[in-house]
Structure 1
Amino acid sequence: MGKLRLIWILLLSGWLFSCSEEDELREPQQETNFLAGQVHPLQDTDDLDPILAEIGNSQYVLIGEASHGTSEFYTWRANLTKRLIQEKGFTVVTVEGDWPAAYILNQYVQGQRNGTAQQALQAFQRWPTWMWANQEVATFSEWLRQHNQSLPAAQKAGFYGMDVYSLWESLAEVRAYLETEAPAIAHLAREAQNCLAPFNQDEQQYAQATARGTSCAAPLQALLEAVQAHRASQPANDEAAFNAEQNALVAVNGERYYYQMIRSDVTSWNVRDRHMQETVNRLVAHRGNSTKVVAWAHNTHVGDARYTDMAGAGMVNIGQLLREQHAGAGVYLVGFGTYQGQVIASTQWGGAVRAMSVPPARVNSWEDLLHRFSVQDKLLLLRELQSSPEAMQSRGHRAIGVTYNPAAEGGNYVPTVLPRRYDAFLYIDQTKALTPLSGSGL
């Protein structure tokens, strides 16, 4: 198993939490009475009114998911985002996905590219492709394109990626831009590509080569600085120059990520989430300082790391970082969970993808307590629970990654103080699998 695969599996599975099945059976069930009066119904989009009221004028709303393969998480996240766009004036949706692929979808939803959302989503070619190339995202994207049609360019909502993995793809985008718009510095992109060429677009090969002294950091940094200088000479609203600069930044931070992934799981994780934070900040600066942003990512990125065992390991995440940096502008975090159902995942990295059964949640996990309180889907406004000693206890909170073994659930629970980790929590008792688009691995 490659190092990158291992990091993803461990970090998205709540790897710091362990509890044997025998211990679970011995543990008495905890009471759920403390939830009484704090649970709100979650049946239709009107039931999101309490969240909209709490969000108020917040500039940043981060919406999570407890897996990358659950239909209801994507659908409810889209429903909330639609209301934020329509009622609160949000104009940026940024996701845990590659910048170049998401930018193609961004062009589609803003009316700059023809075809269909399904066609635009085929740009997501990196495994796990189904994370974004799925029917739930396609449906939201068609709605977003329709919403944007009658709006002036400055008011159209965009769709962007904020991850670091697309080193080679981003570098190719930078070169293509420079060859036409700034040929005098295009050689810097070619030099960076030549440095990386021996590794055949294989990040693991490159990471292992860095342990032997190889590094492409210098030519990538030189390229970034040249692109930044070029962009500074262009009009501030030059979208193509901004796109090129962002791709150059992705290439630099992607190299840093791959360099660290064989040295430190914690450092590589932090490089990635700090890049997400930087991308959000750059989007706000580019589109205007009052721009409102919705970010979509896994709960492990969205839920404030300070209120999990991630903090003890020295890990940060975008939810924590934006809370710390932009508290005055308003940062609102939304998490998800389920008791049982189905999920799209694979038993191994890069392997065949299928719908898997998600077993009932472990005894005394947050998901188990919510199920025992009632089997209805529900909304928790977690600030209402911060005065309850029972609610402020740390309990397991399930996190399912892109690789999953339903028969070995012991490592899939992150110890969490739920009312501090999120501001609101959407609980879906019984869930079904996501719907990948044709050719997306299923």
Structure 2
Amino acid sequence: MSGTLLTDVTAIREAATPLRSPQDLDPLVRRIGRARIVLLGGATHGTAEFYRWRAELTKRLLAERDFSFVAVEGDWPECHRVHCCVAGAPGAPNDPGQALWGFRRWPTWRWANEEVAEFARWQRAFNATGDGVPCGFHGLDVYSLGDTLRGVLDFVREHAPDQLDATIRAFRCFEPGGADPRDPELVPENCREEVVRRLTAARAGVPGAEDYYRELLHGGVRARTARATHLGDTLDRLLQAYGPRSKAVVWAHNTHVGGTLGRLARERHAADGVVTVGFGTHHGSVIAAGHWGGPARRMTVEPAPPDSFEGVLHDAVPGEDSFFVFGDDEWVREPREERAIGVVHRGGGYVPAARYDAFVHCDETTAITPLHHWEPEEDIPFVPAQTHARGG
């Protein structure tokens, strides 16, 4: 072990705050202070501990800091049904679990799981105790990414079947760390304008739809950046709708919180205060799919490499299940990689570590509990894993 790493371990151990109850979040709540936007991440989309600790911190922000709504990396139409339920709208179901059960777009498990249902039930009960504007629950993907990709696939299958495998390979740009300038475009250039026209018509009246789809179809980094920018634009519209004193909690993947979405939030709302919190794990289990559109599976999360961000945290604070550190310490600035598992997992999955204001480390984690025991059939052919590899 190098001298630098020994110094790191000592600094981390001294800086770590154990997490054993919601009250242990006190220092983090104080650090958030009067910030208008708090972005809470997750190294995966299928880890129970990430959802639970995000929920505990969010509860405190709603109850103690007057935050206005929760915005998640999910489709607007489906999340709106959850919003109606937690807000107590007439005709909405009494149990948020029923609204979450109605999710049908792959991957349903990302939000239709027991952990989110438990938080939404708390949110509904919390809203019922107040007499002001209810705290909302909204999806930032107004354009329903899953429906969009399905529409692209259907068009390519009908009009350019020889490009089908390339199109499916291009879907990898929507996986954390998957965007690469060399990735294929989602559709051939001679088909692009027709696909844009059809997708835009399907979202008539939605602001910026045409520009969004035009960038999306390029695939690679441009597609990933276009989606993150769209998430940020939707967040801004929600803040505007809730009023000048509104405040938002965002739940999204680490690659958004520590990437383009987080950067946009800081640039646009620097005067209002923005706090980002990453979440990571050393080892455990996770819910993910083996390929895009595939069934949900409980998978193993292999132990993190010793020199990764999670590996260093694991070695620094042995025997502590969960803890957090603030991101302004010197050791955080050293270049490392952090874990990034998306809705598709084939092992591995690391990206350059982002800078967060705080990072929650859950050493051994467990998979979320999906509400559905099946996934809707997406009719996306399986492409062997090696064709998805970078540069493959």
Q: Is the Cα contact below 8 Å between 2:80 and 2:139 reproduced in 1?
A: yes
Structure with greater proportional helix content: 1
What amino acid sits opposite 1:273 in the alignment?
Answer: A
* Residue 157 (structure 1) aligned with residue 132 (structure 2): no
Instruction: Give the drift of 1:197.
Output: 9.5
Q: Comparing 346-355 with 428-437, which one deviates more in the overlay?
A: 346-355
The answer for the alignment partner of 2:74 in structure 1 is: 97
In structure 2, relative to structure 1, the CA distance for the partners of 1:343 and 1:253 (3 Å cut) is farther
Aligned equivalents of 1:285, 1:426: Cα separation in 2: 30
Instruction: Give the drift of 1:259.
Output: 2.2
In structure 2, relative to structure 1, the CA distance for the partners of 1:369 and 1:219 (3 Å cut) is closer
Q: Is the Cα contact below 8 Å between 2:29 and 2:61 reproduced in 1?
A: yes
Aligned equivalents of 1:373, 1:51: Cα separation in 2: 20
Question: What is the SS of the residue equivalent to 2:315?
Answer: helix
The answer for the alignment partner of 1:313 in structure 2 is: none
Aligned equivalents of 1:29, 1:431: Cα separation in 2: 28
* Residue 342 (structure 1) aligned with residue 279 (structure 2): no
- How many residues of Structure 1 are paired with residues of Structure 2 in the alignment? 346
In structure 2, relative to structure 1, the CA distance for the partners of 1:391 and 1:169 (3 Å cut) is closer
Equivalent residues in 2 for 1:203-218, closer than 5 Å: 207-208=186-187, 211-212=190-191, 214-215=193-194, 217=196
Instruction: Give the drift of 1:163.
Output: 1.8
Instruction: Give the drift of 1:289.
Output: 1.4
Aligned equivalents of 1:222, 1:367: Cα separation in 2: 45
The answer for the alignment partner of 2:232 in structure 1 is: 277
Aligned equivalents of 1:257, 1:138: Cα separation in 2: 34
The answer for the alignment partner of 2:333 in structure 1 is: 392
Residue 381 of structure 1 is aligned with which of 311, 326, 346? 326
Aligned equivalents of 1:296, 1:122: Cα separation in 2: 19
Q: Is the Cα contact below 8 Å between 1:166 and 1:250 reproduced in 2?
A: no
Equivalent residues in 2 for 1:408-419, closer than 5 Å: 409=348, 412-416=349-353
The answer for the alignment partner of 1:133 in structure 2 is: 112
Instruction: Give the drift of 1:128.
Output: 1.2
What amino acid sits opposite 1:146 in the alignment?
Answer: A
Aligned equivalents of 2:64, 2:249: Cα separation in 1: 13
In structure 2, relative to structure 1, the CA distance for the partners of 1:252 and 1:82 (3 Å cut) is farther
The answer for the alignment partner of 1:85 in structure 2 is: 62
What amino acid sits opposite 2:261 in the alignment?
Answer: I
Instruction: Give the drift of 1:201.
Output: 11
Residue 109 of structure 1 is aligned with which of 86, 96, 109? 86
Instruction: Give the drift of 1:258.
Output: 3.8
In structure 2, relative to structure 1, the CA distance for the partners of 1:54 and 1:283 (3 Å cut) is same
Q: Is the Cα contact below 8 Å between 2:216 and 2:224 reproduced in 1?
A: no
Q: Is the Cα contact below 8 Å between 1:399 and 1:414 reproduced in 2?
A: yes
Instruction: Give the drift of 1:92.
Output: 1.2
Gaps of 5+ in 1: 1-25, 171-192, 228-247, 306-316
Instruction: Give the drift of 1:33.
Output: 1.8
The answer for the alignment partner of 1:188 in structure 2 is: none
1:105-147 C-alpha deviation (Å, 9 max, x unpaired): 1111111112421220133222111000100000011111111
What amino acid sits opposite 1:131 in the alignment?
Answer: R
Q: Comparing 198-207 with 426-435, which one deviates more in the overlay?
A: 198-207
The answer for the alignment partner of 1:42 in structure 2 is: 19
Question: What is the SS of the residue equivalent to 1:215?
Answer: helix
Aligned equivalents of 1:44, 1:168: Cα separation in 2: 36
* Residue 323 (structure 1) aligned with residue 257 (structure 2): no
In structure 2, relative to structure 1, the CA distance for the partners of 1:295 and 1:346 (3 Å cut) is same
Aligned equivalents of 1:213, 1:334: Cα separation in 2: 38
Aligned equivalents of 1:34, 1:436: Cα separation in 2: 38
Gaps of 5+ in 2: 169-184, 377-392
| Runs of 4+ more than 4 Å apart | 26-29, 167-170, 196-207, 216-224
Q: Is the Cα contact below 8 Å between 2:310 and 2:339 reproduced in 1?
A: yes
Question: What is the SS of the residue equivalent to 1:328?
Answer: coil
What amino acid sits opposite 1:271 in the alignment?
Answer: A
What amino acid sits opposite 1:301 in the alignment?
Answer: H
Question: What is the SS of the residue equivalent to 2:337?
Answer: strand
Q: Is the Cα contact below 8 Å between 1:342 and 1:432 reproduced in 2?
A: yes
What amino acid sits opposite 1:59 in the alignment?
Answer: R
The answer for the alignment partner of 2:171 in structure 1 is: none
Aligned equivalents of 1:318, 1:395: Cα separation in 2: 21
Aligned equivalents of 1:213, 1:66: Cα separation in 2: 33
Residue 287 of structure 1 is aligned with which of 242, 247, 256? 242
The answer for the alignment partner of 1:255 in structure 2 is: 213
Aligned equivalents of 2:105, 2:211: Cα separation in 1: 18
In structure 2, relative to structure 1, the CA distance for the partners of 1:341 and 1:29 (3 Å cut) is farther
Aligned equivalents of 2:105, 2:157: Cα separation in 1: 15
CA root-mean-square deviation:
3.1
Instruction: Give the drift of 1:40.
Output: 1.0
Aligned equivalents of 1:331, 1:120: Cα separation in 2: 30
Q: Is the Cα contact below 8 Å between 2:105 and 2:147 reproduced in 1?
A: no
In structure 2, relative to structure 1, the CA distance for the partners of 1:39 and 1:357 (3 Å cut) is same
